[in-house]
Structure 1
Amino acid sequence: MATDVVVPTLGESITEATLGQWLKKPGEAVKADEPIASLETDKVSVEVPAPTAGVIAELVVGEGDTVNVGAVIARIDAGATASTAATPAVEDRNAIGQAEAAAPAEPAAAPVEEAGDPVTLSPSVRRAVLEHGVDPSKIKGTGKDGRLTKDDVIAAAKTQPKPAAAAAAPAAAPVAVAAPAGERREERVRMTRLRQTVASRLKEAQNTAAILTTFNDVDMTAVIEARNKYKDLFEKKHGVRLGFMGFFVKAACMALRDVPAVNASIEGDEIVYRDYVDVSVAVSAPNGLVVPVIRDAQDLSVAGIEKTIGDFGARAKAGTLKLEEMKGGTFTISNGGVFGSLMSTPIINPPQAGVLGLHRIEERPVVRDGQIVARPMMYLALSYDHRLIDGREAVTFLVAIKNAIEDPTRLLIDL
C-alpha cells in the first residue's frame, strides 16, 4: 500500500518551501522517521522524515521546486523490502540520467552509481562528477551525513593523475581540436530560499531605514586577561568555553538599558520601547549564517549567555535549530572578527533599529600615560536607524560598551 509523504508544518506564517535535495531515490528502502528529503525555508533547512518503513515508490516533485505545506512530494510502498528496490532504482537512474545517456560516451567519466553501492548526488555534484571524470564512490564526502559536495569532487579531481588522452590519440587525426587554454566556465545556481529572503530583507532595510554607522575602538587587554585567567575554571564549572561574546552581550544589555532608543523600533507612527532585551546573534550553519535569538538576555549571567550561544552553534551545525528560535529579536550583534574582518558597516535587521558589529583583534600602537605602547584593539561599529536614534545616543551607546569592556568590573557591579 502506498503512503504519501507530505510537506510538514514549517512554522507560523510559513506556507511554502523549496525542495533542496532528495536524500533517497525510487527503489531505495527507508526506515520510519529516516530523512528522505531536505526543504529550504526562509530561515533554515528542514529534513522530511519517512512516515513509515518501506521502499520509495515515486518522487512527485523535483529538486528546486516550490512546495506548499501539506503537499504530497513522494510516495512510499509501505511494508516492501529492500530486495524490491533493484528494479525501480534502475528505472530512476535511467530517468535521471537521460541527458547523460543521450550525450556521447565519455570513457574517462566514472559512473555515478555502481552496482550494490549507490551514491546519492545533487545535480551540481553530478555535473562536477561527469565534468571531471572521477569515481564518486572513492571520494570521502564532507557534507552533512557524509554526502559529497562539489568541492569534494573538485579536490579529488586535482589529486588524481591526468589521463594521457592526447598521447593515445591516433596520429592520423590532426583535425582534433583541444580545449582552448584558459577556458572560462560559468555555472548558474538557483538562489536558495534563505539567500533570497536575506537579499530581500537587506534591500528592504536600505529602502526603508535611514541607516548610519558610528565607529569606536576598544582596548581588549582587560577582557583578554580575565579570559586567560579564568577560562579553565569557567569551563570546568559551567561546561562551556569562555569567549568574548558573553562579555559583549552583557555589556550591550547594560548599554541598551541606558540608551533605550537603540532597543526600540518604529511601528507606523509610534515608537515601541522595551524593558527586555532579545539579542540576535549570528552563528555559522552549513548553508550560511543563521541568527537565533537569546531571549531575555538582560537576566542572564555571562555563563548563561555563553551556554546559550554554544547550544545555538552546535544545533546550527546539526541543522536542528527551530524556526521560533530565530524569530523576533530587539537588537543584533554580528561578529565578523571571527572571519578576519577589520571594519564593516553592518545593515540593520528590520524592525530592529540597531546592530553592533565586532571585528578582529589586532595589536596597534596607542598612547597610554604619555607612552606609545602596543595594545590588542578592536573596532566597534554601530549601524542604526537615524529616524529613531540620534548621533548623540549612538555615540553614548558605543562609549558605554567601550567602558564596560575596558573595565569588566563594571559588568559585576552594574555600572
Structure 2
Amino acid sequence: MPTEVRVPTLGESVTEATVATWFKKPGDSVAVDEMLCELETDKVTVEVPSPAAGKLSDIVAQEGETVGVDALLANIAESGEAGATEPKERPAEAKTEEETSGAADGAASGGGSVDVMVPTLGESVTEATVSTWFKKVGDPVAQDEMLCELETDKVSVEVPAPATGVLAEITAKEGDTVEASAKLAVISSEGGAAASADDAGHPAGGSQYTTPPAGRDENDVEDAPSAKKAMAEKGLSRDQVQGSGRDGRVMKEDVAKAVAATSAAASASAPAAAPRAPVAAEDAAREERVKMTRLRQTIARRLKDAQNTAAILTTYNEVDMTEVMALRNEYKDLFLKKHDVKLGFMSFFTKACCHALKEVPEVNAEIDGTDIVYKNFVHMGIAAGTPQGLVVPVIRDADQMSFAEIEKAIGEKGKRARDGKLSMAEMQGGTFTISNGGVYGSLMSSPILNPPQSGILGMHKIQDRPMVVNGEIKIRPMMYLALSYDHRIVDGKGAVTFLVRVKEALEDPRRLLMDL
C-alpha cells in the first residue's frame, strides 16, 4: 500500500496553503524525513518531510495549487511498487542527492560510509551555523551519539550520529553557515579508512535551485503567490529579485533579502555611523573580540525593530504583595503534595494578567497592516534568561489553565529553555509577555515589546517599604510593576486600567476566584 503525503497542521487560524515548490519528481527515491515540497501560507513557509522511505509514485497537488489542511499532496510507494512509474533513464540534473553524494542507501553497498546531514530546523528556518563539534576526525562514534551543535535564529539543535563507525570527514567546520539538508560530515563503518563520496556537482543545500535550466525562459516561471504579494507591497519589480526556488522561482524569503539589500545600499549612501573610539595599544592587547551568536544577533535585531516600529510607552504602578505571599505560605505545602509542583508567584501574575486582558482586549491584540487583530485567547509568553540569551517560551491557552497547570508548564518550559531544547513552535504565537527582572534584583525597568505583541508586563524585586495603611505607617512587601505597550493600538486609559486590574487581583487574590 502506498503511503500518503498530506498537508500538515499549518498553525493557528490557518486553513489553507499554496504548493510553492516540489523538490522531488515522480519516480525519485526519497528517505524518511527528506523534504518533499514547500508550502506557503500568508504567514510562514512550511516544509513537508517524507513520512516514509521509498519512491515518489505520483504528485496529486501541483505547484501553484491551493490546498487545505490534511489534503493529499502525493503518494509514496515502496521501491518495488514504484518501478512502473520510474523513468527508465533520468537526466543527470534530476538525480537525487542520495544518488550523487553517496548517502546512506548507496554507501552500504559501496564505500561503507554514511553522510551526516543537517536535521529539520523548523518552520521558515533555512540555515544554521555550526557552533561546536563534539568529535574530531578519526574519533569513534556510536549511533545517536551527539556529534555537533547547530545554532539557528531561535534555538540550538544537536545533531546525533545516524550510524556507528568512525568520523571520517567533517565537511562543515565550526563557524560555517549551512543550509537545510546540507552535509555536515561522513561516518565510515570501515575503521575510518573510507573516504567520503565525491559531492562535487551538487549544491550543499541539496534542494536549492538558483538558476533556471538552459533553454527555459525566466518569464515562464510562476513565482510563489506570497512573493508576488510581497513584491507588490514593497514596490519591487521582478528583475530586482533573485529567485532561489526551483527553476529560479521567486520565494517570499527572496523578496525579504532584496528589501534588505536595498536598505543596505541606502544605508551605505547615508552618513556612516560613528566609528568605534580609538583604543590604546596596551588596552587593545587585553581585549577579546567574539562573534555574536545567531541567537544574540536575532535578539538585537528584533529589539531594535520593536523600537523602530512600535510607539512604545511604559506606565508604572506598585503592588502590595502581602496577601499573595500569605496565601502562598498557607497552601504551598498542600499544593506541592497534591500537584507535585511548587506554588510560585508566576502563576498568580499569569492569572491576574489573563483576567485583566479580558477587560482590556487591545493589550492582547496586534496590528496587521491597517487592521487590528483581537485575540479571543491568551498565549502567555514567559521571558526566560539562558546562558545563550533571552528566550520567550509560550504557554498556550493560559487563560484556560489552573494554577497547577500554569506552574507545571512554566517549570517544564523553563528547564527546556535553560537546556537549549526549546523548539521553534514553543516560542511562536504568543499574545502577551511577562518578564520577571526581579529574580536578578531589578527594582525598576522599562521592558521592550516582543513583536507583534502590543503589551509586556515587567515584574521586579519584592522589597519591604514603609507604606501608609489606614492612616498608619506599616512595613509592607512592595513590588513595582511596569507595563510597556504599543501606543498605536493601546491608549493611556486602557494601559492604566490594565495595570490597576492586575494590582487589584494581586492585592486581593479572591477577586480571581470570583471573576471580579
- The equivalent of 1:190 in structure 2 is 291
* 1:289-328 matched pairs, under 5 angstroms: 289-328=390-429
Answering whether residue 157 of structure 2 is matched by residue 56 of structure 1, we say no
The alignment status of 1:409 with 2:514, answered yes or no, reads no
Match of 1:216 in 2: 317
Structure 1 partner of 2:339: 238
1:168-179 aligned within 5 A:
none
Correspondence for 2:481 among 366, 370, 380: 380
8 A Cα contact 1:53 1:79, kept in partner: no
Q: Is the 8 A contact 1:337 1:360 kept in 2?
A: yes
Structure 2 CA distance for partners of 1:19 and 1:183, relative to 1, 3 Å? closer
Instruction: Answer 1 or 2: which has greater helix percent.
Output: 1
How many Å apart are 1:286 and its aligned residue?
A: 3.4
In the alignment, is the contact (CA less than 8 A) between 2:321 and 2:506 conserved in 1? yes
- RMSD (Å), alpha carbons: 1.7
What's the counterpart of residue 437 of structure 2?
A: 336
User: Which letter maps to 1:214?
Assistant: T
Q: Distance in 2 between matches of 1:220 and 1:410?
A: 15
TM-superposed deviation, 1:217: 0.3
Correspondence for 2:458: 357
Query: What SS does the corresponding residue of 1:376 show, helix, strand or coil?
Result: strand
Q: Distance in 2 between matches of 1:182 and 1:38?
A: 34
Note if contact 2:296-2:388 (Cα within 8 Å) is conserved in structure 1. Answer: no
Identity of aligned residues (%): 63
| Partner Cα distance (1:339, 1:257) in 2 | 30
Structure 2 CA distance for aligned equivalents of residues 413 and 59 of structure 1: 62
* Structure 1 segment 66-145 matched on structure 2, within 5 A: 66-78=177-189, 80=191
One-letter amino acid matched to 1:49:
P
CA contact (8 A) 1:36 1:49 kept: yes
Q: Is the 8 Å Cα contact of residues 41 and 193 (structure 1) preserved in structure 2?
A: yes
- Answer whether contact 1:217 1:377 (CA < 8 A) is retained: yes
Post-superposition Cα deviations, 1:237-293, rounded to whole Å, max 9, x if no partner, equal 111111000000000000000000000000000000011000100123331222110
Partner of residue 33, structure 2: none
Alignment length (residue pairs): 319
Name the CA distance, whole Å, in 2 between partners of 1:35 and 1:183: 37
SS at match of 1:363: strand
The answer to whether 1:254 aligns with 2:355 is yes
State the Cα distance separating 1:384 from its structure 2 match. 0.4
Whole-Å Cα distance in 1 between the matches of residues 397 and 413 of structure 2?
15
Indicate conservation of the 8 Å contact 1:32/1:50, yes or no.
yes
**Secondary structure class of the residue paired with 1:14:** coil
Q: Does the residue aligned with 2:130 lie in a helix, a strand or coil?
A: strand
Match of 1:163 in 2: none
Is it true that 1:274 corresponds to 2:385 in the alignment? Answer: no
Unaligned runs of 5+ in 2: 1-111, 195-280
Task: Please state whether the residue corresponding to 1:38 is helix, strand or coil.
Answer: strand
Q: TM-score, normalised by structure 1?
A: 0.75
Question: 1:24 — aligned with what?
Answer: 135
- What is the DSSP-based 3-state SS (H/G/I as helix, E as strand, rest coil) of the residue aligned with 1:274? coil
The structure-2 alpha-carbon separation of the partners of 1:79 and 1:318, relative to structure 1 and needing over 3 Å to count, comes to farther
The gaps in structure 1 that reach 5 residues or longer are 86-179
Task: Say yes or no: does 1:227 pair with 2:338.
Answer: no
1:46 and 2:147 correspond: no
Compute the TM-score of the two structures, normalised by the length of structure 2.
0.60
Amino acid at match of 1:73: L
- How far apart are residue 184 of structure 1 and its match? 5.7
